[in-house]
């Protein structure tokens, strides 16, 4: 939620109060429109920059309080850096920096970017970054503190000013649905598990019907009839029943095969009988970040009426250790007919995804399948929190994901799959084990999932380090990041819309 933040659009003028935001390059010169607005006060920028040693580098900020003859409270100067041929600025990061500098205040940005083309894509990106930076999740706080250094300031208004306010508004609207999708995913991840169980999560997915998404909710009886025994096995230790939500966006011809996104939705993970240590277990409310991303993505695609057919499938369970819970040593038959020996009940997400992968592939015959899951701590050991782990059976799909990650800043790094790792999950008693031991844990988890994919191009994104408790960035100051919504929206935009 943007919590009171408002984005407006007006013609060029100097506001009577609040902040006036101007962009400059490394020469510190404002554009001609901004220079006309400032009039005789234009020299204040160079004088202040000399005193503050401000060089105009990209995203650098300089604030001039009570600036000379101007009525505004503050003049905020934003650096654009030196234009580099064929290089596009990170407009969302710039919008986020501006929103951060003016948070909780009334501010007007002159949409003039010396050295760069301020086209529709630039305005759309700026608006996206500003909206995402303004996000905060605090509606469970009875006393809300606006001086919290770890959270964006509440409210405020950023007005984009230019010669054609309606054109600015239209450009900014292009990214509004994407921003809402990311914030929806963040809300879901941040929500406590006592208010967001499998049933409630499924209801959140069903709310996408307002945007034209067809949503089917499968209950435990239906799942049992279908044969999703692995998924149900994870849920059997909880009093809260499992659900699967299948979301279908029809934006292209019916004859066109869909693309499919599949999310792990463990709303809380105790580890089951193989119970986790108490320290940090509260973070396991975020073990459904993969499912949250899929719901946020479906919102973004439907909101902009993407010209693609898309399936979103999420498996929603709670992993608890009561007397009905599955045990280490149990053997479960999956929807595919393959059997799995349960070695560790804390390796549960892959069981949920196994049945979903089989179901989606057999039912919808998609062009590709991409699953997302906070699947392993091992991926954080390998990559930290800067990249999501990428595993795939298809080089072309990997290349497209890498390009989308570079364009959005939601970066992925490909790790290997192979027979040597596959052997680690062979079982003496069943077709496979649900864990291959300590070494290569993220890889053996992906090898497990690959056994449930037939011939469809497939990619697995392990977002354990990026989907929750992620590192803060220009566009995200939240515990739940919404990672993957922008990445996958870009993938669809660039390659799969008709």
Catalytic residues: 276, 350
**CA nearest 354: which of 443, 232, 471?**
232
Beta strands in 86-185 (DSSP E): 106-110, 157-162
Tell me how far apart the alpha carbons of residues 196 and 201 are, in angstroms, rounded to a whole number. Answer: 6
435 contacts 347 by C-beta, under 8 angstroms: yes
Beta bridge partners of residue 369, listed in sequence order: 260, 458
111 contacts 20 by C-beta, under 8 angstroms: no
CA angle at 222 for the pair 213 and 290, rounded to the nearest 5°: 50
Tell me how far apart the alpha carbons of residues 490 and 263 are, in angstroms, rounded to a whole number. Answer: 18
Please report which residue ranges of 259-369 form alpha helices under DSSP H.
289-303, 349-364
Q: Is 219 helix (H, G, I), strand (E, B) or coil?
A: coil
Beta bridge partners of residue 334, listed in sequence order: none
Q: DSSP assignment, residue 470?
A: P
389's enclosing H/E stretch is: strand 388-392
Q: DSSP assignment, residue 480?
A: B
Strand pairing report for 388-392 and 458-462: antiparallel
Tell me how far apart the alpha carbons of residues 202 and 279 are, in angstroms, rounded to a whole number. Answer: 29
**CA nearest 58: which of 30, 91, 29?**
91
455 contacts 372 by C-beta, under 8 angstroms: no
Strand pairing report for 309-319 and 106-110: unpaired
């Amino acid at each position: 939620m943007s919590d009171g933040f408002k984005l407006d659009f007006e013609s060029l003028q100097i506001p009577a109060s609040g902040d006036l935001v101007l962009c400059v390059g490394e020469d510190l010169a404002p554009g001609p429109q901004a220079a006309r607005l400032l009039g005789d006060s234009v020299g204040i920028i160079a004088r202040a920059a000399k005193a503050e040693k401000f060089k105009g580098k990209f995203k650098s900020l300089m604030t001039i309080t009570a600036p000379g003859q101007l009525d505004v409270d503050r003049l905020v100067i934003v650096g654009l850096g030196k234009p580099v041929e064929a290089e596009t600025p990170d407009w969302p990061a710039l919008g986020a920096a501006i929103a951060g500098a003016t948070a909780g205040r009334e501010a007007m940005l002159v949409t003039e970017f010396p050295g760069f083309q301020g086209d529709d894509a630039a305005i759309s990106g700026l608006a996206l970054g500003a909206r995402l930076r303004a996000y905060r999740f605090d509606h469970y706080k009875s006393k809300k503190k606006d001086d919290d250094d770890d959270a964006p300031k509440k409210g405020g208004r950023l007005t984009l000013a230019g010669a054609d306010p309606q054109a600015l508004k239209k450009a900014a609207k292009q990214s509004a649905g994407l921003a809402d999708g990311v914030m929806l995913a963040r809300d879901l991840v941040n929500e406590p598990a006592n208010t967001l169980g499998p049933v409630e999560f499924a209801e959140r997915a069903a709310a996408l019907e307002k945007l034209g998404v067809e949503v089917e909710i499968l209950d435990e009886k239906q799942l049992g009839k279908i044969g999703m025994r692995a998924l149900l096995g994870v849920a059997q230790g909880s009093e809260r029943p499992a659900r699967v939500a299948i979301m279908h966006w029809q934006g292209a011809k019916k004859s066109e095969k869909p693309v499919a996104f599949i999310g792990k939705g463990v709303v809380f993970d105790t580890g089951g009988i193989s119970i986790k240590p108490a320290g940090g277990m509260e973070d396991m409310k975020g073990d459904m970040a993969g499912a949250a991303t899929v719901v946020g993505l479906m919102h973004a695609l439907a909101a902009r009426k993407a010209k693609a057919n898309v399936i979103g499938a999420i498996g929603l369970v709670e992993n608890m250790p009561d007397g009905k819970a599955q045990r280490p040593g149990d053997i479960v038959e999956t929807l595919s007919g393959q059997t799995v020996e349960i070695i560790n009940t804390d390796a549960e997400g892959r069981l949920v995804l196994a049945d979903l992968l089989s179901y989606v592939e057999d039912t919808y015959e998609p062009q590709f399948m991409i699953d997302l899951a906070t699947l392993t701590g091992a991926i954080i050991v390998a990559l930290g929190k800067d990249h999501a782990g990428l595993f795939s059976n298809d080089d072309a799909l990997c290349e497209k994901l890498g390009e989308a990650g570079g364009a959005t800043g939601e970066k992925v790094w490909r790790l290997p799959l192979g027979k040597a790792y596959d052997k680690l999950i062979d079982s003496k008693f069943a077709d496979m084990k649900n864990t291959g031991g300590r070494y290569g844990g993220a890889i053996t988890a992906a090898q497990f999932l690959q056994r449930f994919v037939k011939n469809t191009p497939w990619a697995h994104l392990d977002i354990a380090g990026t989907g929750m408790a992620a590192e803060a960035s220009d566009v995200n100051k939240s515990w739940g990041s919404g990672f993957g919504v922008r990445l996958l929206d870009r993938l669809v935009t660039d390659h799969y819309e008709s």
